[in-house]
Amino acid sequence: MRVLGIESSCDETAVAIVQDDGTILANVIRSQVAAHQPYGGVVPEIAARAHIEWMEPVLEQALKKSSLTLNEVDAIAVTAGPGLIGGVIVGVMTAKALASIYQKPLIAVNHLEAHALTARLTHHVSYPYLLLLVSGGHFIYAVVEGVGRYRLLGKTLDDALGEAFDKCAKMMELPYPGGPYIERLAKEGNPLAFDFPCPMLGVKGCDVSFSGLKTAVRYAIRTLIGNGNPLTDKQKADIAASFQRAVVTILSQRSKSAIDMAREQGLACPTLVVAGGVAANQAIGAALRDVAAQQAMDFIAPPPALCTDNAAMIAWVGVERYQAGLIDHLDVEPKARWPLA
């Protein structure tokens, strides 16, 4: 069977077609980054209008790439939340129209579940597994027991990690989204140049907090530019490397705690999976791979292009939900908020 997936919950308009064996027949992504860059972040109104403009051409392109017609797909899956509501509405209305015209089952997908199950599409990992979901809007540790079955172990008390990357990048006047720029700069900097704090490390459980780290970066920058000069490239690289080192320390320790918590709760998992946009970061991936190896666990990070927002992951959840008989009605509502567990 084949499922067509639609994603429009943030700043990517995307349509993909995925087969039940995990073959990606089309995966078209139209990024709006250029439209939002002047504002240093996603502007919901601009995003919603851009989704309206791009949805149809992106859909056409996906069908063309796969050499399929809408009659030849078996179901329509769409991100129904959480996300920027204007964009989510555009996707859901498009999916409802297609489902009703072509008489196909409609599957409303939680965007977080799509990130969470990407490793099943790319690596056929079996349930249960321990998931670290790190994106621009979310940070959670959870045990994934099956489709729709999540046990939440930990979360962020303030910012998501992608958000912390983006805000630190903004403070250094790097373009949006800043995560990839920080990673690139960090390679040239000294990770020991600044002794940034690693909040929550001694605290029981695996919750995280990034606001203290962000504030420390702000103060360091303020001190450096106190004399009125802009940051030099060397200073930016050192800040990026030191920030990333703190993040890696936090994630290594908190992931170990999450593994311990899962074991204590009788939810031992053979595999650690990282997902979401920040999982594209190679330094973070390497650190998590080490943690998993020390705990005799396998480690999986989907390829970067499937870690950041895309519609192949939405279509894949469509496959899994369809197989589990989890079909939605045409009256399903778009949701701005929709927790995973």
**Residues of the shown chain interacting with Zn ion in the complex, contacts defined by CB under 5 A:** 135, 309
Q: 64 or 187: whose CB is closer to ligand KG4?
A: 187
Q: 159 or 309: whose CB is closer to Zn ion?
A: 309
Q: 210 or 322: whose CB is closer to ligand KG4?
A: 210
Tell me how crowded residue 296 is: count the other CB atoms within 10 A of its CB.
7
β-pair type (139-146, 129-134) = antiparallel
Give the C-alpha separation, 228 to 232, whole Å: 12
State which of positions 85-124 bind ligand KG4 (CB under 6 A).
none
Residue 25 Cβ, how far from Zn ion at the closest point, in Å? 22
**Per-residue binder mask for ligand KG4 (CB under 6 A), 288-317, x = binder:** --------------------xx--------
Residue 105 Cβ, how far from ligand KG4 at the closest point, in Å? 25
Q: Which residues, 6 or more positions from 189, have their beta carbon under 8 angstroms from its beta carbon?
A: 234, 236, 237, 238, 239, 240, 241, 242
Give Cα separations from 230 to 168, 185, 223 (angstroms): 15, 17, 11
Give Cα separations from 60 to 25, 90, 152, 156, 337 (angstroms): 14, 16, 38, 39, 29
Is residue 81 involved in binding ligand KG4 (CB under 6 A)? no
The dihedral region occupied by 173, where left means phi > 0, alpha psi between -120 and 50, and beta the remainder, is left
Is residue 191 involved in binding ligand KG4 (CB under 6 A)? no
Residue 302 Cβ, how far from ligand KG4 at the closest point, in Å? 11
Give Cα separations from 268 to 93, 126, 145, 148, 153 (angstroms): 40, 13, 11, 19, 13
308's contact among ligand KG4, Zn ion, none, with CB below 5 to 8 A by partner kind, is ligand KG4
Q: 128 or 179: whose CB is closer to ligand KG4?
A: 179
Q: 104 or 214: whose CB is closer to ligand KG4?
A: 214
Which two structure tokens, joined as six digits, stand for 203? Answer: 């605290």
Tell me how crowded residue 203 is: count the other CB atoms within 10 A of its CB.
13
Angle (CA) 138 206 259, round 5°? 105
Residue 12 Cβ, how far from Zn ion at the closest point, in Å? 9
Is residue 8 involved in binding ligand KG4 (CB under 6 A)? no
Q: Which of 86, 87, 137, 285 binds ligand KG4 (CB under 6 A)?
A: 137
Binding span for ligand KG4 by CB under 6 A among 58-66, 117-125, 172-180, 258-266: 172-180
List residues near ligand KG4 by CB under 6 A. Answer: 10, 135-137, 162, 165-166, 177-180, 183, 276-278, 280-281, 308-309
